[in-house]
Structure formats: C-alpha cells, structure tokens
Amino acid sequence: MDLKYDFYINAEPEDVWNAFMKPENTRKIFFGSTLHSTFEPGARYEYIGPNEKGEEVVHVYGTVLEFTPNELFSCTEHPGPSYRENHAELETRLTLSLEKVGGCTKLTLVNDQWPADHPSYENTKASWWMILSNIKTLAETGKTLDFGW
C-alpha cells in the first residue's frame, strides 16, 4: 500500500525545495494552503488554507521527523479535523527527498505506513500525481498547471 513517486526535474534542488516550502508556492501547489512549522524534529506542522466556504482550516497536520533543507523532509501526516472525526488515528508517514542527478534533481516522495482501510488512501494516491506534476512544472517554468479548478 506504500505510495512512491520518483520525478526528475530540470531545476536545482533549492528550486524544487522552495516549491514545497515557500508560502507563495505552497498556495499554488497545495490548494491555497501554506505550511506552518519551526521544522525542528518533534515539532508540529500544519497546512492551513481555505475550505470550500473560504474559512481557514487545517487541511493536513503532523509531526516533523527529519528536516534537512534542500534534501529531506520526513513527517507523520494526518487529515485535518474538518475532514475526519477520527483524524488522530489516521496517521501515515511522508518522506520527501531531493538528490542532484547530473544537471537535474531527482525528487522521491514516499507516503507509507498506511493503516488498514484508511479512508483517504485512494484520493491521496491520485492527488500526489497532480501535486508532484505541478511542482515539477513550477520549478522548471515558474508557472503551474491548469487543472480547470
């Protein structure tokens, strides 16, 4: 059930990293959300952004496990409280790593440790392709894809 994605991106690791971390980029990639944390191991992080009604909510949250700028971000991950009543029980692990390969960057994302019958698995499986494709496009061109939303 592990989800693993490898992308080769024609950009420097810093540019790919910034697509995940800089507020102006995360708003474009993660449906209007920004990432909040001190990023110290053990610290909480949250993706906060508007819901369908325009109210600010926590979409995803968890605990930072490892953090090395431009190289590695690993964390636990939970759906926000507004999505699932049992959100605290629905923990997975997310690991993003970046590696310089020639003149490009290899992005590897692993989303694993899924509990049995996790209600967000299928949606997450489909969403990562779109998010990572958008990150690749943003890092390479400075623009994002138009998914018609």
Q: Is 147 a domain residue?
A: no
The structure's pTM equals 0.91
Q: Is 22 a domain residue?
A: yes
Average pLDDT rounded to a whole number, residues 88-104: 96
pLDDT mean across residues, the chain: 94
Q: Is 148 a domain residue?
A: no
> Could you tell me the CATH number of the domain that includes residue 74?
3.30.530.20
Can you give the pLDDT at residue 74?
A: 98
User: Structurally, how many domains does the chain consist of?
Assistant: 1
- 138: pLDDT confidence band, cut at 50, 70 and 90? very high
Q: Is 83 a domain residue?
A: yes
Q: Is 149 a domain residue?
A: no
Please list the alpha-helical segments (H only) found in the chain. Answer: 13-21, 23-29, 121-141
Locate 121 and state its tokens. Answer: 């698995």
- Residue 25 sits at φ, ψ, to 5 deg, of -85, -40
Instruction: Report how far residue 21's alpha carbon sits from residue 49's, in angstroms, rounded to the nearest whole number.
Output: 14
Q: Is 130 a domain residue?
A: yes
- 32: pLDDT confidence band, cut at 50, 70 and 90? confident
The boundaries of the domain holding residue 115 are 3-141
Q: Is 146 a domain residue?
A: no
